[in-house]
Amino acid sequence: MKNKSYITLGFTTVIVALVLLFSTDIFASTKKEKEKAVEPKKELSRLEAFAKFTKVISIVEQYGVDEVSIEELMNKALEGMMSNLDAHSNYLKQKDFNNLKIQTNGEFGGLGITVGIKDGAITVIAPIEGTPADKAGIKSGDIILKINNVSTLSMTIDDAVSIMRGNIGEPIDLTIVRDGERKPIEIKIIRGNITIESVYDKSIGNDIQYIRVTSFDKKVVSDVTKAIKKRKATTKGIILDLRNNPGGLLDQAVGLVDIFVSEGDIVSQKGRKKADDEIYTAKASNTLTDVPLVVLINGGSASASEIVSGSLQDHKRAILVGQNTFGKGSVQAVLPITDSEAIKLTIARYYLPSGRTIQAVGVKPDINVTAGEVQVNKNDYSLKESDLKKHLKEELEKVDSIKEQAKELKEDQKTVITDEIINKDIQLKEGIDIIKALVIVKGK
C-alpha cells in the first residue's frame, strides 16, 4: 500500500512536471509571438507596393465572377483611392471633368445647390439664391437620402452632382432628411438654367448699406467695390450677408477682406510641402471704407465665405451674427492626368490670421441668432386723430393712388430692404440693430 502510494505520487509528480514544462514552452512561445507582434511592421518599398497592387488587379481580372476590363479595374481603383483620401478629393473621369468645366463657366442646367460630404452623407451646403432648389424649399444642412429614388449612400459627390445636373425643364425627385423633421421629405424640382448673380446691393433706411454675396466668382471684388463707392457719401454702416454662400475663388475672398482691412494677414494656406505654403496680406491701398461692419453667417456659409468672416473677426473689424459656419477649410487643386481626365486633390489647409483652422470646426458668430421671423404685434384696426378727421369720400378717392404706391414699393424692393423683409429675418434685424448701435458709438 505504501509502495503504491509512492508510485502514485511519483506518477503525479511526472505529470505536474510535464504540465509545467509544456506551460513554460507555451508561455515562451506566446511571449515570442507577442514580442514579434509589437515589432514595427516593415514598410513596403515603392516597388513592392506596386507589385502588390498589380497582383490584386491580376487576380480580380482572372477570377472575378464578372468580366471586367483592365481599364475599368484601374478606374475603379483610382476612384476608390481618391475618395478615401478625404471628402473633397476625387478622380474625375471625362464626364466629371467636363461637368466641372461647365460649372466653372457659371451657366448650366441644374438645381442650384452646392453639396458636400458631412459625417459620411451627401449634405446641402447651401441653395443658390433664386434657383429652382431655393424656390422649392431646399435648405442648408438637408441630407440628400435619395435622388430619383436611388440611394446616395454609396455615391460620390461627383456622381450625385452629375445626376442632379441635366436638361433645363426636366424634373428630378429628391428625398431629404431635415433636422427637426420626423420623416424624410420628398421634393420635386424642375431643372433650370443656373446663372449666378453673385452680388446684390440694397439700402436700409438712409445710411445703412446691405451687400449680399451669394458666391465668390471672378467679379465679386469689382462688384462690391462699385457698390460701396456708389453709396459711400451716405453710408454710415454696412451689413455683409454671406449666409448660404458656398464659397468659390480664393483671390476674391482675399480681395473682399482687403476692402475692409488695411494691414495684416488675411489668410494663410499650409500643405505638406513648403511650396504649397502661402500667406495673403492686406494692403492699405485696397481699403475702401472703415465704417462699422456686421457680417451675417450660417451653416451654409462655407470655404471662401468662412475665410472672409473669420478673417474679419480675427481683425476685430466686424461683428459676426447668425450661426456656426459649415467648416470647409481645405484647398483643392484640379490636376489633369490626360486631355480628358483629371484628379481633384486636397493640397493644403486654410488658417485664419490668429492661426486657427476652419476645417471641420467652422467660424463661430460673435452673437448667435437662429433663423426665424421677428414677432410683431399688428393692430390693423387702430385709429389716429388724423384718421377721424378724414371724410369717407376722400378715402375712397385715394384707392387708386394706394394701388400705384404698392406697385412702386414692389419695384423699390429690388434696391431697398423694407420693414416687411426685415421682420421676416430676425438675423438681419439683429444685424441692423447692432450697426445702429455701432454708428452711435462711433459718432460720439
The single residue of 83, 140, 215, 303 carrying the catalytic annotation is 303
**CB distance 321 to 298 below 8 Å:** no
Check residue 111 and report its DSSP letter: -
Query: What is residue 100's three-state secondary structure?
Result: helix
Backbone angles phi, psi at 294, to 5 degrees: -120, 135
Query: What is residue 98's three-state secondary structure?
Result: helix
The whole-angstrom distance between residue 48's C-alpha and the CA centroid of its chain comes to 39
232 is catalytic: no
The single residue of 118, 139, 202, 328 carrying the catalytic annotation is 328
Grid coordinates given for 376: 410683431
Length of the chain: 444
Grid coordinates given for 135: 424656390
Residues 257, 245: Cα–Cα separation, whole Å: 15
The single residue of 134, 241, 314, 425 carrying the catalytic annotation is 314
314 is catalytic: yes
303 is catalytic: yes
Short-list 297, 299, 298, CA closest to 312: 297
CB-based burial of residue 229 (10 Å sphere; 0-12 exposed, 13-18 middle, 19+ buried)? exposed
Grid coordinates given for 83: 475618395
Query: What is residue 86's three-state secondary structure?
Result: coil
Compute how many other C-beta atoms are within 10 angstroms of the C-beta atom of residue 236.
Answer: 18
The sign one gets for the Cα dihedral 259, 261, 265, 267 is: negative
Catalytic residues: 303, 314, 328
